[in-house]
């Protein structure tokens, strides 16, 4: 089971990513759950892309903040990432859902993840810890059984 241990962000890049994720959450469209989520991902090279959760009244088309941030980066031509910060209105940190974990795995096996509380304190983890034994693009490179 994952244990939360919180600390203040210690380096300038983490501080900036945390600040961006907290700000991104302000743009959340969450009229049904009332849970605002923001995510900011830093691409290799330093560019930051933000996302917020966008809910739909039919629920299924709802998209999480993490996928919005990653998709924004990919749409701009970036597919290699240094870290992502994820924040919400919850008292404790929120973790990415299973779909978001798998979506991020498409681009990184061990992406550093900052789980951000509303007060800006962070829990550092990575995708390897949150999605152990994951299936990724490299899995498709393994030999296939002949049909």
Q: For strand 122-126 and strand 81-88, is the pairing parallel, antiparallel, or unpaired?
A: unpaired
Q: Which SS3 state, helix, strand or coil, does residue 26 take?
A: helix
> Residue 70 above 60 pLDDT?
yes
User: Would the pTM of this model clear 0.85, i.e. be above it?
Assistant: yes
Instruction: Report the largest interatomic distance among the alpha carbons of the chain, rounded to a whole angstrom.
Output: 55
Angle at 63 between CA 60 and CA 69, to 5 degrees: 165
> What digits encode the pLDDT tens for the residues 114-141?
999 999 999 999 999 999 999 999 888 8
Q: E strands along 17-80, which residues?
A: 37-43, 48-52
Q: What is the pLDDT of residue 2?
A: 65
**Tokens 């089971």 sit on residue:** 1
Residues noted as catalytic: 66
């Amino acid at each position: 089971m994952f244990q939360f241990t919180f600390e203040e962000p210690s380096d300038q890049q983490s501080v900036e990513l945390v600040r961006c994720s907290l700000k991104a959450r302000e743009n959340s469209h969450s009229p049904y759950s009332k849970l605002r989520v923001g995510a900011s991902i830093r691409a290799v090279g330093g560019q930051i892309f933000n996302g917020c959760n966008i809910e739909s009244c039919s629920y299924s088309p709802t998209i999480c903040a993490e996928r919005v941030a990653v998709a924004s980066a990919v749409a701009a031509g970036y597919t290699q990432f240094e870290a992502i910060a994820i924040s919400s209105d919850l008292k404790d940190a929120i973790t990415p859902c299973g779909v978001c974990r798998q979506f991020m795995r498409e681009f990184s096996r061990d992406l550093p993840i900052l789980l951000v509380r509303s007060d800006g304190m962070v829990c550092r983890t990575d995708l390897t810890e949150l999605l152990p034994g994951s299936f990724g693009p490299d899995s498709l490179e393994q030999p296939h059984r002949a049909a």
